[in-house]
Amino acid sequence: MNIPKGYRFAAARAAFKYEGKLDLGAIVSDTPAVAAGVFTTNKFQAAPVLQCKEMLADGRKISAIMGNSGQANACTGEEGRANCRETLNLAARALGVPADEILPASTGVIGAQFNMAKWEAVMPSLAESLGDDPELTAKAIMTTDTVHKLAEASFELKGGEVRLIGMCKGAGMISPNMATMLSFIACDADVSAEAWQTMLSDCVNLTINRVTVDGDMSTNDCVLALSNGRSGVAIESEDDYILLRKHLLSVLEELAYKIVMDAEGGTKVAFIEVSGAKTDADAELVARAVGNSPLVKTALFGSDPNWGRIICAAGYSGANFRAEDLVLKIGGVLVFRNGTPEPGDMDDLLAPIMAKRDIVIHLDVGDGPGSTMLLASDLTKEYISINADYRS
Amino acid sequence: MNIPKGYRFAAARAAFKYEGKLDLGAIVSDTPAVAAGVFTTNKFQAAPVLQCKEMLADGRKISAIMGNSGQANACTGEEGRANCRETLNLAARALGVPADEILPASTGVIGAQFNMAKWEAVMPSLAESLGDDPELTAKAIMTTDTVHKLAEASFELKGGEVRLIGMCKGAGMISPNMATMLSFIACDADVSAEAWQTMLSDCVNLTINRVTVDGDMSTNDCVLALSNGRSGVAIESEDDYILLRKHLLSVLEELAYKIVMDAEGGTKVAFIEVSGAKTDADAELVARAVGNSPLVKTALFGSDPNWGRIICAAGYSGANFRAEDLVLKIGGVLVFRNGTPEPGDMDDLLAPIMAKRDIVIHLDVGDGPGSTMLLASDLTKEYISINADYRS
């Protein structure tokens, strides 16, 4: 990979939950970096989420991100907050950066308290592992993911090359805003904190906030992004800004697709496009209802062109549109309009489309300006197995 | 069963979808009956739903209900409406009642048009089957139900005995308002149309509108209720009204429980109680989020006391409450309060509770007057099998 300058990566085995799996990772910037974050809107926010929000509120620079899998440190009260701060002290000593410049992130089982002895014991090997391989860090934050997820981008400005990499973990408890999901971005541009936060929020909203696996929004979701300026390339003009934003967007788009592609037990990716709605919010209601419908998702899994379930979900979405205006296309094939199915053997036409991995479902619901796009996974027996047995 | 006076029941095999299964049923009242109905709020309403609403709007008396399984006659446009009316003409000739006194109901695959030749062919055997056995009619409306669902009640007034029976089909596409679900009630009280409709709407709202299997609300949901006065017992005083309402409620409660107990692939029934909310609507948001969460539902299936998922769902429900006020009890055991898990080995305490079929989950979210109760099924591999292969 084309690694941005001034970053090192670490990963270690703490055995927080399972033996023999990397479960603690870190990204260290040799130069304190401008930092931005986007967080879950769940009312119950995990200790590391609260910690990050507090730290980012004062605009300080950040030298490291540390993420663990296996334990979420959510719904753990004051003890959880204190444990979170103590892990930063331990990491500060091991990694040689100030504790108040380390952003924490956790994912895993909700409600259990950290085993602090394990945190203390793992720190030397975390520090020793520091190197130039982001893949191991991406692996350390995996829970039920079957593959680690990385994306990269780079571009030239007159001052030189700017590089970005992103990593994330996804799998389950994904949606309706963001995913159960930790996502870390490292960039070496010299950009202002305000501009970096604005473009991160925008890009997350267009990508990771538009995926749904199971409609569950976790207590721990966060996207953390650093930019350390080590490329020596300053983002100054409007054009520079647009170019950096474009590449940040492409990194997040790739991560979002990878999350849905590797959804727990998932075998399909549905691109649910809604247009013609009165407002974007109405379009969103339709897309979420279709993308979260267990009946639509099981039909996707079964490659069953059972389009009535899509119409049905749009009908109970609560969106403001007229039933007779809805036009449904699947994979470009016109299926339903004017309240009536198109004539012909739709099953024959749709069977090869439904058999594919990526399926485009387009709902036009009127002549309004509102639109959206949502990536949705299917719902499979494997999802049930994973989640019925997750803790055992 | 204690059958209300003046009703006969019919069932026949039309082979609308499968061979060898009863798929057309009827309830005929020898005396035109006061009728009431409650219908899906889905924007796409099936032809029979539109037909019933039109017929009930003018307060006419009704002589029969006819229901078929296998085909929903939903999303079928004008042709579907015309076909629906034609089935009433066919039934009128066969059953000897006026076509404009027959309420139709359909359930099954959305989008396909009726095969009218099959409707015509089946009518003689439907008429021949007329008798006093409601069980066969209850079987005829089953789709993926594994058992037919009947409930009965009776009570004495000074004028004599009043009898009610109810039947329904449930299984999948259940919620958020009503269920994919046809439910027919027959009663022999002499009651006014207004009182009958009011008590039906109230009772449905307290029972069948409070179950969720998969969060999908169908295009065909309806509860149709007849009361033909043949007991000779008039409902006149406030006390009479309260007594009839109480027994109607008990019939609907039993049907609602049976729907969740026989949810597609279901193995558990969760009683999700929410109290202390600012409003009933807030309580409802919490209960629906918990009851529809795939992660909560898979934990139920796995008998896994993974209570963090319940808190998490409450947290993203959108309900207005303070996180620190939430108190969670499962099967009476205090699990979480003040933002902190209770001390002790919760898994040990909860394991025997989670192993049961019926599980009570109580969330108290403050000191407000809002409360609700919701019956929710679990989510299982069998649900996926049923719905991925439903049409094949």
Q: What is the mean pLDDT of each run of 10 residues along chain A (392 residues)?
A: 95 90 96 93 88 95 94 90 98 97 91 93 97 95 86 92 92 47 92 95 86 64 92 94 94 88 83 94 93 88 88 90 94 91 87 92 95 88 73 47
Residue B103 lies inside a defined structural domain of this protein: yes
Q: Evaluate whether residue A1 is within a structural domain.
A: no
Boundary of a domain, candidates B242, B261, B280: B261
Residue at A310: amino acid letter: I
Residue B4: pLDDT above 50?
yes
With CA atoms as reference, the chain B residue closest to A109 would be B308
Least confident of A282-291, A323-332, B98-107, B263-272: B263-272
> Which residue of the set B180, B212, B372, B380 is catalytic?
B180
Amino acid symbol at A94: A
Alpha-carbon distance values, A15 to A123, A363, B118, B154 (Å): 12, 47, 64, 62
Residue B17, pLDDT > 90, answer no
Q: Are residues B245 and B292 in the same domain?
A: no
Q: Which residue has the higher pLDDT, A15 or B392?
A: A15
Do residue A133 and residue A221 come from a single domain?
yes
**Residue A175 belongs to a domain:** yes
Residues B222 and B301 in one domain: no
Which residues in B lie closer than 8 A to residue A388 (C-beta atoms)? 298-299, 301-302, 304, 380
What confidence tens digit (pLDDT) does each residue in B325-349 have? 999 999 999 999 988 888 888 888 9
- Measuring CA to CA, how many Å separate A319 from each of A287, A322, B201, B288? 10, 9, 24, 18
Pairing of the two strands B182-187 and B222-227: parallel
Residue B180 among the catalytic residues: yes
Query: Of A209, A229, A260, at which residue does a domain stop?
Result: A260
Residues 213-252 of B with CB under 8 A from A: 214-219
CA distance B266 to B263: 5
- Give chain B positions within 8 Å (CB) of A306: 109-110, 390-391
A67: domain CATH number is 3.60.70.12
B264 is in an annotated binding site: yes
- Is B2 inside a domain boundary? no
CA–CA separation, A69 and B281 (whole Å): 36
Tell me: do A200 and A297 sit in the same domain. Answer: no
Q: Label residue B386 by pLDDT band (50, 70, 90).
A: confident
pLDDT in the model for residue A306: 86
Boundary of a domain, candidates B221, B245, B261: B261
CA distance A333 to chain B (A): 16
CA distances from A77 to A84, A107, A112, B341, B380 (A): 11, 16, 10, 8, 32
Which pLDDT band, with edges at 50, 70 and 90, does B175 fall under?
A: very low
Q: Identify the pLDDT of residue B392.
A: 41
Is there a domain that residue B1 lies in? Answer: no
Instruction: For residues A297 and A291, give the distance between their C-alpha atoms in angstroms, rounded to a whole number.
Output: 7
- Is B207 annotated in a binding site? The answer is no
Taking an 8 Å cut-off on Cβ atoms, the answer to whether A315 and B42 are in contact is yes
Q: Do A295 and B340 touch (CB under 8 A)?
A: no
Residue A253 lies in a domain: yes
Decide which of B210 and B361 is more confident. B361
Domain that holds residue A144: 7-260
Q: Which residues of A touch B311 (CB under 8 A)?
A: 44, 75, 110-111, 219
Tally of domains within chain B: 2
A114 and A245 in a single domain? The answer is yes
Interface test with B, best of A106, A316, A378 (most B CBs within 10 A): A316
List, by residue number, the catalytic residues of A.
180
Residue A382: its pLDDT value, please? 78
pLDDT at residue B178, as a whole number? 34
Whether residue A2 lies inside any domain: the answer is no
